[in-house]
Amino acid sequence: MKTYPVKIKVNGKWKEAAVTARDTLLDVLRKKWLAYEVKNGCSEGDCGACTVNLNGKTVNACLVLALQANGKEVTTLKGIGTEQNPHPIQKAFVEKGGIQCGFCSPGMIMSSKALLDKNPVASRSEIREGLSGNLCRCTGYHKIVDAVEHVAKNNQS
């Protein structure tokens, strides 16, 4: 199959790959660049597990063609904090028990960050709405919402 070169900045570093016209951004992130923190839950835009930031917009990486991301900048979970220096939302997810199996967590945290970047003091119902595109099979959502609400409340003070 014919391939095309793409260059995409991932978490601050330019990366190159040859992709087909059908490869998605999720394919290239996971299969070519081993960005396993970006999860593949459904490949159809239904679960939010593959949520990343693309040039400032929150997207499902499974719904973006790799060619559409050419020349653009992607931030994944690993781009917002490290183990030594986690983002406050990452810290709150751990402290408030918002992570069980962890499969949904990267996408949940990226969506939470997008929400609080726009609305730092989001209410509980705004948080629920902001995370409505992200599915979790384990937590029942309460602890996830608790975690994000904790950060939003800290932002008020």
DSSP E strands: which ranges in 40-141?
A: 51-54, 57-60, 73-75
For residue 113, what are its two tokens? 């960050």
Contacts with ligand FES by CB under 6 A: the residue count is 22
How many angstroms separate the CA atoms of 47 and 43, rounded? 8
Least separation in angstroms between residue 108's CB and ligand FES is 7
The reply to whether 138 sits near ligand FES by the rule CB under 6 A is yes
Q: Tokens standing for 153?
A: 């409340």
Does residue 49 bind ligand FES (CB under 6 A)? yes
Binding of residue 40 to ligand FES (CB under 6 A): yes
What SS3 class is residue 148?
helix
Out of 29, 48, 106, 114, the only residue in the binding site for ligand FES (CB under 6 A) is 48
What is the full DSSP assignment across 17-52? EEE-TT-BHHHIIIIIT--TTS--S-SSSSS-TTEE
C-alpha span between 133 and 80 (Å, rounded): 20
Residue 153 in the binding site for ligand FES (CB under 6 A): no
Indicate whether 103 belongs to the interface with ligand FES (CB under 6 A): yes
Smallest gap from residue 157 Cβ to ligand FES (A): 29
Q: Beta strands 4-10 and 51-54: pairing type?
A: unpaired
Which amino acid does the sequence have at 135? L
Shortest distance, position 156 Cβ to ligand FES, whole Å = 27
Question: In the bound complex, what is the minimum distance in angstroms from residue 117's beta carbon to ligand FES?
Answer: 20
**Could you say which of 11, 68, 70, 100 contacts ligand FES (CB under 6 A)?**
100
102 binds ligand FES (CB under 6 A): yes
Q: By the criterion CB under 6 A, which residues form the site for ligand FES?
A: 40-43, 45-50, 60, 62, 99-104, 136-139
